[in-house]
Structure 1
Amino acid sequence: MAEATSDPVRLPRGPHAPRLVQGLRFLTARRAVVGGLARRYGPAATLNLPIFGRAVLITDPTLIKDLFTTGADLVGRATNLGEVLGPGSTFSLDGEEHRERRKLLVPPFHGKRVHSYESIIEEEVMREVAGWPEGVEFETLPSMMRITLNAILRAVFGAEGAAFDELREQLPRLVAVGSRIALLPKPFRRDLGPRSPGGAMLRHRRRYDEIVEALIADARRDPAFDERPDVLSLMLRARYDDGSAISDGHIADELLTLLTAGHETTATTLAWLIERVRRHPQLLERLAEEADDGGSGLQQATIWEVQRLRPVIDGTSRRALQRIRLGEWVIPEGHIVIVSIPMAHANPDRFTSPSAFDPDRFVGKPPDNYAWIPFGGGIRRCIGAAFANMEMTVTLRTLLREFTVVPTTAPGEAYHSRGIANAPGDGGRAVVYRRSNTAPPAGWAAAGNLLGITSGGEPAVQQNAGAD
Structure 2
Amino acid sequence: MSQAPTVVAPIRAEPKLPPSQGVPNTLFSLAFMVARRPTTDWLTRRYGRCVTVRIPVFGNTVVVSDPALTKQIFTSSPDVLYNIQPNLSRLLGPGSVFALDGAEHRARRKLLTPPFHGKSIRAYEQIVVEETLREIESWPQGTEFATLEPMMHITLNIILRAIFGADGLELQRLRALIPKWVTLGSRLAVLPSPKREMPWTPWGRLVQYRREYEGLVDTLISRAQSDPNLEDRTDVLSLFLRSTYDDGSPMTRGEIGDELLTLLAAGHETTASTLAWAFERISRHPEVLSRLVAEADTEDNSYRQATILEVQRNRTVIDFSGRHVQVPSYELGEWMVPQGYSVMVSLCQLHENPEMFEDPERFDPLRFLDTRPNTFAWVPFGGGTRRCIGAAFANMEMDVVLRTVLRHFTIATTTAPGEKWHSRGVAFTPKKGGRVIVHRRA
Tell whether the structures are fold-level matches, with TM greater than 0.5. yes
Q: Which amino acid aligns with 1:306?
A: V
Q: Partner residue of 1:144?
A: 151
1:77-116 equivalence runs, <5 A: 77-78=83-84, 79-116=86-123
Give how far 1:50 is off.
Answer: 2.2
Q: Partner residue of 1:58?
A: 64
Would the aligned equivalents of 1:262 and 1:384 in 2 still touch at CA under 8 Å?
yes
Q: Which amino acid aligns with 1:286?
A: R
SS at match of 1:186: coil
Give how far 1:6 is off.
Answer: 4.0
Q: Partner residue of 2:320?
A: 315
Q: Partner residue of 2:74?
A: 68
Q: Partner residue of 2:181?
A: 174
Q: Quote the Cα distance in structure 1 between the aligned partners of 2:251 and 2:93.
A: 14
Identity of aligned residues (%): 52
Q: Partner residue of 2:6?
A: none
Q: Quote the Cα distance in structure 2 between the aligned partners of 1:235 and 1:329.
A: 42
Q: Partner residue of 1:397?
A: 403
Change (3 A) 1:310 1:116: same
Q: Partner residue of 1:301?
A: 306
Task: Give per-residue Cα distances to partners, 1:344-389, cap 9 Å, x unaligned.
Answer: 0011121111111000011111212211111111000011111110
Q: Partner residue of 1:153?
A: 160
Q: Quote the Cα distance in structure 1 between the aligned partners of 2:30 and 2:318.
A: 18
Q: Does 1:330 align with 2:339?
A: no
Q: Quote the Cα distance in structure 2 between the aligned partners of 1:412 and 1:180.
A: 24
Give how far 1:43 is off.
Answer: 1.2
1:288 to 266, 289, 293: 293
Give how far 1:134 is off.
Answer: 1.1
Q: Partner residue of 2:219?
A: 214
Q: Partner residue of 1:413?
A: 419
1:223 to 225, 228, 231: 228
SS at match of 2:324: strand
Give how far 1:253 is off.
Answer: 0.3
Would the aligned equivalents of 1:100 and 1:240 in 2 still touch at CA under 8 Å?
yes
Would the aligned equivalents of 1:320 and 1:335 in 2 still touch at CA under 8 Å?
yes
Would the aligned equivalents of 1:20 and 1:50 in 2 still touch at CA under 8 Å?
no
Q: Quote the Cα distance in structure 2 between the aligned partners of 1:72 and 1:429.
A: 42
Give how far 1:184 is off.
Answer: 2.2
Would the aligned equivalents of 1:138 and 1:429 in 2 still touch at CA under 8 Å?
yes
Q: Does 1:247 align with 2:223?
A: no
Would the aligned equivalents of 2:33 and 2:56 in 1 still touch at CA under 8 Å?
no
Would the aligned equivalents of 2:187 and 2:424 in 1 still touch at CA under 8 Å?
no
Q: Partner residue of 1:49?
A: 55
Change (3 A) 1:281 1:354: same
Give how far 1:180 is off.
Answer: 2.5
Q: Does 1:186 align with 2:193?
A: yes
SS at match of 1:236: helix
Would the aligned equivalents of 2:189 and 2:425 in 1 still touch at CA under 8 Å?
no
Task: Give per-residue Cα distances to partners, 1:167-211, cap 9 Å, x unaligned.
Answer: 0011111122222222222326x4212x21221111111110010
Would the aligned equivalents of 1:268 and 1:423 in 2 still touch at CA under 8 Å?
yes
SS at match of 1:16: coil
Give how far 1:159 is off.
Answer: 5.3
Q: Which amino acid aligns with 1:392?
A: M
Would the aligned equivalents of 1:19 and 1:50 in 2 still touch at CA under 8 Å?
no
Q: Quote the Cα distance in structure 1 between the aligned partners of 2:100 and 2:223.
A: 28
Q: Quote the Cα distance in structure 2 between the aligned partners of 1:432 and 1:170.
A: 30
Q: Which amino acid aligns with 1:300?
A: Q
Which residues of structure 1 form unaligned runs of 5+?
437-468
SS at match of 1:318: strand
Give how far 1:224 is off.
Answer: 1.4
Give how far 1:340 is off.
Answer: 0.6
Task: Give per-residue Cα distances to partners, 1:385-428, cap 9 Å, x unaligned.
Answer: 11110110000110111111111011100001111211101110
Q: Partner residue of 2:278?
A: 273
Task: Give per-residue Cα distances to partners, 1:228-252, cap 9 Å, x unaligned.
Answer: 1111111111110000001011110
Would the aligned equivalents of 2:15 and 2:338 in 1 still touch at CA under 8 Å?
yes
Change (3 A) 1:110 1:5: farther
2:37 to 20, 31, 38: 31
Q: Does 1:377 align with 2:375?
A: no
State the aligned residue count.
Answer: 431
Give how far 1:111 is off.
Answer: 0.9
- TM-score (normalizing by structure 2): 0.95
Which residues of structure 2 form unaligned runs of 5+?
1-9
2:355 to 349, 357, 371: 349
Q: Partner residue of 1:449?
A: none
Would the aligned equivalents of 1:159 and 1:215 in 2 still touch at CA under 8 Å?
no
Q: CA RMSD in A?
A: 1.3
